[in-house]
Structure 1
């Protein structure tokens, strides 16, 4: 095992790539009473076009199939995996994002049994067309539930504008129409392409013994047979087909309009520390412009243009790069105009000053350090924030190295009117 120390944070991780290609990362935290494990694959909702293992041509999969596959993984031939975890005193869950699918558990006892249950059910799929058709009804209800949420609709409305003709604009669960095309055969095709150990990572943190745990994992994997790892070939729409749509609107039964303004980043190939630095810098920029310590936030709040729903976010993943800002407002036109103007003139904003930057920087470092007290936070951030060998534990060091001039430079490089869009949900008249 490779031992990687982060002296500044007093953290040490142990990393090993097994013969079958599975990356295992262990982070012992003996002061905690529980353990948390997250088993993930580099496969999400945007991975719709690829060459299935054993074939030679690209194939387009139905929208939502990665999420559908996640649902079906918990069903076994002789029962339900959630029941197995429950009997072992563990809490289990799973999620699908644009670029990842992950399965997890947390427990205070029966660690070995729960760890083996996690590895075994994810590596032993069982699908039938009968069970797949039954699941369609469940996922159909889930899609309809989210379709009724204004917050969800305004977010995906903006994504449809920022990424037209791209799978990032489609609900992770797919559509009621698209899931009808999903079959057991297609699920197996996706599974065998993306769930090979070489495309997966197991992260374990909490109270456990290192050598004992890695031996359990090695033994578990040695008992299983996997085909030789093959390169996964994916395909996405070209940039020419995904030019930003400037605006959009839908009407829903809401009491107050909801708005979002977004900017899509330019296609870049940042890697390692440069990629994480980009992520931190844009998040700093948004905090300076729209955070609770900014003059903008206080002014908009005092004028009643925003309320506690006001939020900003930066998403920077494989094939995905955009920021968004907005919330509920009684004056959508006015708020959108103000937000656009603030973004376009970000580098010149009076909120981008040394005193304010130091406040935001110190607060961000403090919040990150506090978050490291949560096993869940560490596991999910380790899964999400990985740029080659740079991880969540490099965030503090990079935060400290970033200066105000770096933020202004990022503002000038990132923000442009061509890649800006707005979307609003307005009240539907009865």
Structure 2
């Protein structure tokens, strides 16, 4: 078990890759009463085309399989896993994103038992024709519910307009039509390919003894057998640099128009260091200009173009990236025009040493505050681990950023073809 101390945040992380390939990461916080565990696989909704383990040819599965599989793993032949967690005083959940699927629990007692329950149910799939058919109705209702949620439709509408072919433009849950073609055989194929321990990470943080916890996990895994892992071959469509649609409009019954500006972030040929730097700058620049008190936020607010619903977010993965700025506006056309003008103005903006230092301090402060949340720490650690980055190394990386680095990014960030309205 490898131990690494991060003196600048007073944290210690224990890591080990087990014989079956599973990566275990432990972050003890023994002053807390709660423990949070997350079991994540590097498999999300965009992984539609791949070569199944033991086969030679690529297949394409229906949209929504990763999310469908997440639902089905909780249901076993003669019991429901949620009931087991409830009896053991734990709150359990799961989520599917574009790039990963994760299963988790939080608890203040019976932690070791809950850890074993989490490991065991994820690694013991049971799918039947009858249960799969029943689940189609449940997930179909969930899809229909999201079809009526304007915020979600605005978000997905933006991604659909940003991306031509890349499957991030497809709803994570799929469609009612696509999930209707899912079978138990498809679920087992996806499970056997992507749920191998070598493609997964188990992260635990909270009140526990790391040595004792690692022994527990190793003993649990030693009782199970897995076929030898082969490289997972995934295929994604080639994606153009420009956006699919410069303008995209949806009609829904809302009291106030919702407007978003999407930025298609470049991930072309990004090596690890360049990836980390771009990830940092996307967030720092957006936060500096558009957070409350930021110069662009104040202009939009003073011109009565935004209200409390205003937001921005950014996401960078190994295969795609985007940033979104939006909210409700009584003057949608004017909002769109002004945000575009403000974004274009960054091309000639020259940041000062003081401004960059302010950005760095704010970003570091956000990271340090997030350490107060077990959930946030674990989820972000898993995210960065999946792309080969040590989450706790971000702070010294941010500290090393120079004004020249920031201005170089800013001058190349915005291009005329990277945005749209939805």
For 1:332, the equivalent position in structure 2 comes to: 332
Q: Which residue of 2 aligns with 1:373?
A: 372
Query: Paired residue for 1:62?
Result: 62
CA contact (8 A) 2:347 2:414 kept: no
Distance 1:353 1:149 in 2: 42
Mapped partners of 2:109, 2:417: distance in 1: 54
**Aligned ranges for residues 292-371 of structure 1 at < 5 Å?**
292-349=292-349, 352-371=351-370
Deviation larger for 80-89 or 327-336: 327-336
Distance in structure 2 (CA, Å) of the matches to 1:7 and 1:183: 50
Distance 1:181 1:411 in 2: 46
Structure-2 separation of matches of 1:363 and 1:136: 45
What is the CA-CA distance between 1:403 and the residue it aligns to?
A: 3.0
Segment of structure 1 superposing worse, 401-410 or 372-381: 401-410
C-alpha distance in 2 between matches for 1:330 and 1:301: 12
The alpha-carbon deviation at position 367 of structure 1 amounts to: 2.3
Aligned mates of 1:335, 1:185 — CA distance in 2:
49
Give the match's secondary structure for 2:250. strand
Counterpart in 2 of 1:239? 239
Structure 2 SS opposite 1:173: coil
Moved more, 287-296 or 328-337: 287-296
TM normalised by structure 2 equals 0.96
1:39 aligned residue: 39
The match for 1:170 is: 170
Q: What secondary structure does 2:130 align onto?
A: helix
**DSSP 3-state at the match of 2:297:** helix
C-alpha contact 1:166 1:242 (8 A) present in aligned 2: no
Mapped to 2, the partners of 1:174 and 1:189 lie a distance apart of: 18
> How far does residue 53 in structure 1 lie from its aligned partner after superposition?
1.2
> Which residue number corresponds to residue 259 of structure 1?
259
Q: Distance in 1 between matches of 2:256 and 2:403?
A: 37
- Structure 1 distance, partners of 2:79, 2:250, is 43
8 Å Cα contact 1:38-1:105 kept in structure 2: yes
1:72-221 equivalences under 5 Å are: 72-221=72-221
What is the match of residue 24 of structure 1?
24
- In structure 2, relative to structure 1, the CA distance for the partners of 1:171 and 1:8 (3 Å cut) is same
Deviation at 1:31, TM superposition (A): 0.8
CA deviation string 1:71-92 (max 9, x = no partner)? 0000011110000000000110
Instruction: Decide whether the 8 Å contact of 1:103 with 1:118 is kept in 2.
Output: yes
Q: After superposition, what is the alpha-carbon deviation per residue over 1:210-254, rounded to whole angstroms, capped at 9, x for unaligned?
A: 111111111111110100001100011112498532111011101
Question: How far apart are the structure 2 equivalents of 1:240 and 1:36?
Answer: 40
CA distance in 2, matches of 1:84, 1:320: 38
| Cα distance in 2 for residues equivalent to 1:113 and 1:208 | 13
Following superposition, the deviation at residue 387 of structure 1 comes to: 6.3
**RMSD in angstroms over aligned alpha carbons?**
1.6
Whether the 8 Å contact between 1:95 and 1:102 is mirrored in structure 2 is yes
Helix, strand or coil: the match of 1:140?
helix
Normalised by the size of structure 1, how large is the TM-score? 0.94
Number of positions where the alignment pairs a residue of Structure 1 with one of Structure 2 = 422
Q: Is the 8 A contact 1:30 1:207 kept in 2?
A: yes
Cross-structure match for 2:268: 268
Conservation of the 8 A alpha-carbon contact between 2:165 and 2:238 = no
Provide the rounded CA distance (Å) in 2 between the counterparts of 1:242 and 1:93. 37
CA distance in 1, matches of 2:401, 2:110: 44
Q: Which runs of 5+ in 1 are unaligned?
A: 424-430
Shift of 1:202: 0.3
Shift in alpha-carbon separation, 1:241–1:279, aligned structure 2, 3 A? closer
Contact 1:261 1:326 in 2 (8 A): yes
Cα contact 1:40–1:102 (8 A) shared by 2:
yes
Secondary structure at 1:9 match in 2 = coil
**Structure 1 residues 242 and 335: CA distance shift in structure 2, 3 A:** closer
CA contact (8 A) 2:29 2:205 kept: yes
Q: Aligned in 2, Cα 1:185/1:327: closer, same or farther, shift over 3 Å?
A: same
Determine the C-alpha separation between the residues in 2 that align with 1:201 and 1:228.
17
1:353, distance to aligned residue in structure 2 (A): 4.0
Task: Give yes or no for contact 2:42–2:386 (8 Å, CA) kept in 1.
Answer: no
Q: Does the aligned pair in 1 maintain the 2:159–2:169 contact within 8 Å? A: yes
Contact 1:271 1:387 in 2 (8 A): no
Shift of 1:189: 0.5
Residue pair 1:99, 1:318 contacting (<8 A) in 2 also: no
